């Protein structure tokens, strides 16, 4: 009860500072930052997917004696020398040059492309030319009697033929493998970060002496601080899950996602307690804590059994073992006990 009172007092001052809104903004920002990165990837590899209209009317100049390639490229102009083609390229009359000095039906053909640098057009042009070169490869393979491509038909469950958009797996994986784990980690990291501030502030401003002079026990104070940070995360987690759902992301097994996210919060609070116990003041504890976070984040992605891997599968409705979720929950609760003890000793010694 006493711990709850302390927790509510701390939460109250947190809401007064509009911290909650800042964290939501923070999470939105993480989502935005990550989306733009994915967008970058998509636009570079497949602009039509990212919603950019690919202008197929790119003006390509062609140089060389290569009738098959020329017929496939359908150049807007043919040049007899690379110099003339470059003239028009620099003058902006053509957007790209395709150059194959001599076509070799039985050997290897080395095609050179000249594209404009630092222009959005370069992406569009290279995509158009890429498609044509793939076609050229197919024709050349056919001429050599080599199977040119493999075709697999795709059907829906009512056996109608459907189209699988290229690279559709990139945004899917981004949401489940990157974004959801990142949101889980940021929530935990911020909640534990606040925990450090709440504890170190009491130590540095010496208000801890006042608190200890009251009938409150040190474990009540530590418990209250942990509870405050935990409650903040407990409000934040359903918020980002809801925001994702609002964005039409399918969130499967939300209860397991919440348990995983809150276990992470407890885990991070344990790390935070240890850093405060070592350093005591805010400056050094935050430094140690950030270093610990930096060390932890990359490790999240190295196995499907890490919290990040597990939460990805839980949210995406992929096979997972609920016992693994239980394992993380129990471990995080068990780790809290020694860290709470350590902090209690710190408080008593002050």
Partner 1 sequence: MFKIARLEIRKSRKKYTKTFIPIILIFIILAILSSHYSTTTGVKSDYMLYTIATPYKIDDPHFVRYRMTANEAMPYLKSGDIDIALDGRPPYMILGGTKKSLAAADELLKLIEDLFESELHKRYGINAFPVFVKAEYLKRELVYQLDLQKANKKAESVDKEEIEKKETKTEKEMREEIAKETVKERTAIDGDTATGFVKTKTEYEYTTPDDFHPPSLLEKLIYAFFFIIPSYFAIQVFSASLIEDRIAKRIDLLLSTPISESDFLLGKLIPYILFSLIAVVSVSMIFRESIISVIFVFPVIIFFASLQMFLALISRSYRETTFLMIVSSLIVTAYIFIPSVFAGTIPVSKVSPITLMLAMFEGESIGIKDYIFSTFQFYAMAFVLVFMSSKALNPEIMHSAADLHHRILMTVQRAVRRDYHAFFASIASIPFIFMVEFLLLSILFIMPPEQSIPIFLAVVAFVEEVFKGTVVFAAYRNGAPLYKSAVFCSLGFFMGEKLIVILNIATQYNTILFAQYYVLPLLIHLTTMLVFALILRRSFAAALAVSSLLHFIYNYAVVILL
Q: Which is closer to partner 1, CB of 86 or CB of 342?
A: 86
Q: Which is closer to partner 1, CB of 150 or CB of 246?
A: 150
Q: Are 64 and 100 in contact (CB under 8 A)?
A: yes
Q: Which residues pair with 99 in a beta bridge?
A: 63, 112
In angstroms, give the least distance from the CB of 261 to partner 1.
Answer: 16
In angstroms, give the least distance from the CB of 76 to partner 1.
Answer: 17
Closest CA to 120 of 44, 56, 39, 37: 44
Task: Count the neighbouring beta carbons within 10 Å of the beta carbon of residue 201.
Answer: 13
Task: Count the neighbouring beta carbons within 10 Å of the beta carbon of residue 313.
Answer: 20
In angstroms, give the least distance from the CB of 238 to partner 1.
Answer: 20
**Angle formed by the axes of helices 19-45 and 2-16, nearest 10°:** 60
In angstroms, give the least distance from the CB of 316 to partner 1.
Answer: 6
Q: Which is closer to partner 1, CB of 283 or CB of 348?
A: 283
CA–CA distance, 156 with 162 (Å, rounded to integer) = 6
Q: How is residue 217 written in tokens?
A: 């026990």
Q: Which is closer to partner 1, CB of 281 or CB of 333?
A: 281
Residue 216, helix vs strand vs coil: coil
In angstroms, give the least distance from the CB of 114 to partner 1.
Answer: 6
CA–CA distance, 149 with 50 (Å, rounded to integer) = 26
Q: Which is closer to partner 1, CB of 13 or CB of 214?
A: 13
């Amino acid at each position: 009860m006493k711990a709850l009172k302390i927790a509510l007092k701390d939460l109250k001052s947190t809401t007064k500072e509009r911290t909650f809104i800042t964290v939501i903004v923070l999470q939105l920002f993480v989502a935005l930052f990550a989306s733009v990165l994915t967008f970058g990837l998509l636009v570079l590899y497949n602009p039509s997917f990212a919603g950019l209209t690919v202008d197929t009317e790119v003006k390509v100049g062609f140089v060389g004696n290569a009738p098959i390639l020329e017929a496939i490229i359908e150049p807007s102009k043919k040049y007899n020398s690379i110099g003339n083609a470059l003239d028009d390229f620099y003058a902006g009359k053509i957007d790209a040059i395709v150059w194959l000095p001599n076509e070799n039906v039985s050997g290897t053909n080395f095609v050179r492309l000249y594209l404009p640098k630092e222009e959005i057009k370069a992406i569009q042009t290279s995509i158009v030319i890429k498609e044509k070169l793939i076609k050229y490869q197919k024709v050349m393979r056919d001429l050599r009697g080599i199977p040119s491509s493999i075709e697999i038909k795709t059907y829906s469950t009512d056996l109608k033929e459907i189209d699988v958009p290229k690279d559709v797996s990139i945004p899917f994986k981004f949401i489940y493998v990157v974004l959801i784990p990142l949101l889980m980690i940021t929530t935990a990291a911020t909640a534990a970060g606040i925990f450090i501030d709440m504890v170190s502030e009491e130590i540095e401003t010496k208000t801890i002496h006042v608190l200890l002079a009251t009938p409150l026990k040190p474990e009540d104070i530590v418990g209250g601080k942990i509870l405050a940070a935990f409650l903040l995360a407990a409000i934040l987690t359903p918020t980002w899950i809801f925001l994702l759902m609002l964005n039409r992301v399918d969130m499967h097994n939300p209860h397991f996602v919440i348990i995983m996210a809150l276990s992470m919060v407890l885990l991070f609070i344990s790390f935070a307690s240890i850093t405060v116990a070592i350093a005591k003041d805010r400056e050094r504890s935050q430094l140690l804590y950030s270093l610990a976070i930096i060390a932890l984040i990359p490790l999240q992605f190295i196995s499907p059994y890490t919290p990040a891997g597990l939460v990805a599968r839980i949210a995406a409705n992929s096979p997972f073992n609920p016992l693994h979720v239980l394992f993380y929950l129990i471990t995080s609760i068990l780790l809290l006990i020694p860290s709470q003890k350590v902090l209690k000793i710190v408080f008593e010694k002050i």
